[in-house]
Amino acid sequence: MSAADRVAALVFWWVATYSRRLPVEVAERRRAELVSDLWEQRAYGRAVGAPTLAVALSILRRMAAGMPADLRWRQRQLAAARGRPLVLGGRPVLRTLARNWWLVLAGLVGIFEVAFGVAIPLEEGANFDTVGGGALIAAAGLLVLAGTAVRRRRSRVAGDIMIAVGALPMIPWLWIIPLPLAGLTVIVASAFDSAEARSLGERGTPLPAAERLVLAGVVIVAAALVAAVLIAGPMPGTLIIAPALLGLVVYLGLRQRRRAA
């Protein structure tokens, strides 16, 4: 039994739970529709060569996200069975928010990291450690914000990875419970979203070569920064970062000049 089959079994259990004591034909129709839906999703995943874990996570997300609607549906069916129709609606804005809640949270995490990264040297005095650490956290925040744009415009998977990586600096602040909780939630949600994109065989629009180079430059600088702050110390760290920074600046300058020409 694959991971997707196990999660499908979990969905069947959930359907059986929320359709308990409903009219038999109503419960049976919902169950049969879910049997078909889950079979089709797994078959589609196999057809596009999606990893079974990605399909499983996608099914799990669909189940979890639909739970409030399932419970409202049950409430409505029970009311109908008792002869009291129940009309439920909702504000479109709230529905959109409910669907994209984790992206809103990711945006808040990104903004917080940028603000926090800038605040560290201002609050604690500017030295190499505070500036380096602050820059690292602010860069992570920018990565989260860039990830939300990449996810929308280029590649959902790449954007999700950027968001997850960018949210990592929130995790070590264990003594301030909401911060690691928010970071972890964003990381888990982006992992689920990325898995679903993969389960659908989404490839996204590949980045142009120039943008790939810029991204590689940013990664090199970020890696150098981490090495400088965590391992090498201020002076050797500067020596590590300087060539990468210089290379990036030269590249961007040449690119700008070519564009102007």
Partner 1 sequence: MRRKPGTLLPLEVDILEAGLELRQTGGARFHGFQLAKAIADHAGPRPLTAHGTLYKALQRLEEAGLLTSQWEDPGIAAAEGRPRRRLYEVTGTGERALAGWHLKNGQTPTRPRLEPT
Judged by CB under 8 A, which stretch of 41-49, 132-140, 161-169, 172-180 contacts partner 1? Answer: 41-49
How many C-beta atoms surround the C-beta of residue 84 within 10 A?
9
Cα→Cα distances 202→28, 155, 193, 198, 212, Å: 33, 8, 11, 6, 19
Q: Name which position in 6, 16, 68, 81 contacts partner 1 (CB under 8 A).
A: 68
Query: According to the binding rule CB under 8 A, does residue 28 interact with partner 1?
Result: no
Determine contact, residues 145/111, Cβ cutoff 8 Å. Answer: yes
Q: Helix, strand, or coil here: 144?
A: helix
Judged by CB under 8 A, which stretch of 31-39, 135-143, 172-180, 223-231 contacts partner 1? Answer: 31-39
Cα(137)–Cα(183) distance, integer angstroms = 13
Query: According to the binding rule CB under 8 A, does residue 257 interact with partner 1?
Result: no
Query: According to the binding rule CB under 8 A, does residue 11 interact with partner 1?
Result: yes
Judged by CB under 8 A, which stretch of 26-34, 120-128, 178-186, 229-237 contacts partner 1? Answer: 26-34
Judged by CB under 8 A, which stretch of 162-170, 174-182, 196-204, 237-245 contacts partner 1? Answer: 196-204
**What is the x/- site pattern for partner 1, positions 202-241, by CB under 8 A?**
x---------------------------------------
Query: According to the binding rule CB under 8 A, does residue 58 interact with partner 1?
Result: yes
What lies within 8 Å, CB to CB, of 7 at 6+ separation is 56, 57, 59, 60, 63
Q: Say how many residues make up the chain.
A: 261
Determine which helix (DSSP H) or strand (DSSP E) holds 166, and give its type and residue range.
helix 156-167
Q: Which of 193, 149, 141 is nearest to 165 (CA)?
A: 141
Determine contact, residues 117/135, Cβ cutoff 8 Å. Answer: yes
Query: Which positions touch partner 1 (CB under 8 A)?
Result: 11, 29-30, 32-37, 39-41, 43-44, 58, 61-73, 87, 89-92, 95-96, 99, 151-152, 156, 159, 193, 196-197, 200, 202
